[in-house]
């Protein structure tokens, strides 16, 4: 059975200026132990998708449609109590900025023991030992000392390791990692990705790795979903998507990675700006920035399956000639 099945998820924010359709029809399935990369620009709805799964969308936001099934259990509309049981226990989250996600006034051990005892009746000593082992598993040297430290005494990379250790404390089946390496040095990034991947494989946990950096997911994810303006515009196995991108947006994203260009050459960029979520263009949301757009794009593209295991929302995918 799949760990997570998201179908037609729509999360809207009812602001004074209008309705922001942050997530507007997202579908994906996650198998046990699978790592999925959720890629997109800022404001494309990646993070809101993650929060929707945890049931932590705050007003004025609301899940207005679709279903989220965790091991077959419907989470949309599930009682708060049940969601809280799952949160941090079966489904855990890792945040972007490790400087912000640890409480500055509580010691690491306090925060870790608390995370264990929130879901299980364990004596403090046992919980403490589990916290220590957890820190060891994410590659923190002398974990006993680190446990007695306050967050400000640890470096950014150390702190992110701690938050990863906290996420894995209760052996969750699903981890949602929201840009966990964005705030870190490049050298630390690779270490953190490696640790997260290692723990994930060891425990057989599924992971959703939310990022705007295709280079990061390329080496990490089994599958990639590319999001644009609240929708998944392209999905498929990582190698396929990276080597043979179909959607013009994915092509643009891959083209804008600096390393793909030669020295002295202008960097490729996707023209235009992230669309205003309050006034999305009619039809395909990417239409106005797309070189391949035509009249057909005024209608909304449906999901097609151009190849086995791949999904696409586009009338004029790359690799297929545009009729003049």
Partner 1 sequence: MSVPADSAPGAPEIGVETPFQRFRAEFFESWIAAFALGLLGLIVVLALLAPWITPQNPYDLGQVDVLDGKLPPGSRAYTGYTMWLGSDGAGRDLYSAILYGLRISISVGVASGVIALVIGSTIGLIAAYAGGRVETVVMRLVDLQLSFPAALIALMLVAVMGRGIDKIIIALVAAQWAYYARTVRASALVESAKEYVEAARCLGLGHARIVFRHILPNCMAPLIVVGTVQTAHAIALEATLSFLGVGLRQTEPSLGVLIANGFEYMMSGRYWISFFPGIALLLTIVSINLVGDQLRDVLNPRLKK
The residues that touch partner 1, with contacts defined as CB under 8 A, are 54, 56, 84-89, 92-93, 95, 97, 100-106, 114-115, 118-119, 141-142, 145, 148-150, 152-155, 158, 163, 166
Least distance CB 9 / partner 1 (angstroms)? 18
Distance CA 20, CA 271 (A): 23
Tell me the two tokens of residue 113: 């023991």
Instruction: Name the residue nearer to partner 1 (CB basis): 1 or 105.
Output: 105
The structure tokens 């035509």 sit at: 294
Instruction: Name the residue nearer to partner 1 (CB basis): 27 or 97.
Output: 97
Instruction: Name the residue nearer to partner 1 (CB basis): 116 or 285.
Output: 116
Q: Give which of 318, 254, 257, 259 is closest to 291, Cα–Cα.
A: 318
Q: Give which of 72, 22, 79 is closest to 51, Cα–Cα.
A: 22
Q: Which helix (H) or strand (E) holds 178?
A: strand 174-178
* Number of alpha carbons in the 13 Å side-chain half-sphere of residue 253: 31
Least distance CB 310 / partner 1 (angstroms)? 32
3-state SS assignment for residue 66: strand
Instruction: Name the residue nearer to partner 1 (CB basis): 29 or 110.
Output: 110
> 60 preceded by cis ω (within 30°)?
yes
Least distance CB 228 / partner 1 (angstroms)? 25
Least distance CB 87 / partner 1 (angstroms)? 4
Q: Give which of 271, 185, 273, 280 is closest to 230, Cα–Cα.
A: 280
Least distance CB 293 / partner 1 (angstroms)? 38
**For the chain, how far is it from start to end, CA to CA, in angstroms?**
46
Instruction: Name the residue nearer to partner 1 (CB basis): 57 or 224.
Output: 57
Instruction: Judge whether 169 and 177 are in contact, CB under 8 Å.
Output: no
Instruction: Name the residue nearer to partner 1 (CB basis): 28 or 95.
Output: 95
Tell me the two tokens of residue 267: 């960097």
Least distance CB 248 / partner 1 (angstroms)? 34
Least distance CB 202 / partner 1 (angstroms)? 21
Instruction: Name the residue nearer to partner 1 (CB basis): 103 or 261.
Output: 103
């Amino acid at each position: 059975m799949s760990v997570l099945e998201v179908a037609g998820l729509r999360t809207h924010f009812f602001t004074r200026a209008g309705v922001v359709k942050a997530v507007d029809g997202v579908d994906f399935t996650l198998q046990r132990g699978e790592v999925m990369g959720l890629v997109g620009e800022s404001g494309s709805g990646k993070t809101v998708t993650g929060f929707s799964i945890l049931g932590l969308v705050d007003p004025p936001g609301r899940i207005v449609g679709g279903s989220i099934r965790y091991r077959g259990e419907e989470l949309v509309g599930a009682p708060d109590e049940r969601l809280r049981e799952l949160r941090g226990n079966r489904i855990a989250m890792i945040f972007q900025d490790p400087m912000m996600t640890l409480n500055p006034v509580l010691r690491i051990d306090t925060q870790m023991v608390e995370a264990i005892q929130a879901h299980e009746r364990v004596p403090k000593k046992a919980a403490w030992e589990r916290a220590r082992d957890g820190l060891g598993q994410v590659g923190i040297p002398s974990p006993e000392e680190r446990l007695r430290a306050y967050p400000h005494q640890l470096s950014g990379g150390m702190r992110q390791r701690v938050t990863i250790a906290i996420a894995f404390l209760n052996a969750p089946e699903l981890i949602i990692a929201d840009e966990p390496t964005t705030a870190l040095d490049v050298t630390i990034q690779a270490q953190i990705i490696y640790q997260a991947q290692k723990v994930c494989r060891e425990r057989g946990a599924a992971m959703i790795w939310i990022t705007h950096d295709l280079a990061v997911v390329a080496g990490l994810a089994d599958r990639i979903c590319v999001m644009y303006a609240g929708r998944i515009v392209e999905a498929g196995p990582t190698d396929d998507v990276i080597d043979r991108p179909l959607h013009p947006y994915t092509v643009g994203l891959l083209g804008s990675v600096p390393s793909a260009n030669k020295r002295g050459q202008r960097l490729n960029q996707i023209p235009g700006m992230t669309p205003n979520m309050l006034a999305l263009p009619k039809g395909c949301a990417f239409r106005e920035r797309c070189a391949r757009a035509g009249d057909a794009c005024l209608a909304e593209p449906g999901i097609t399956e151009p190849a086995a295991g791949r999904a696409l929302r586009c009338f004029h995918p790359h690799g297929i000639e545009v009729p003049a």
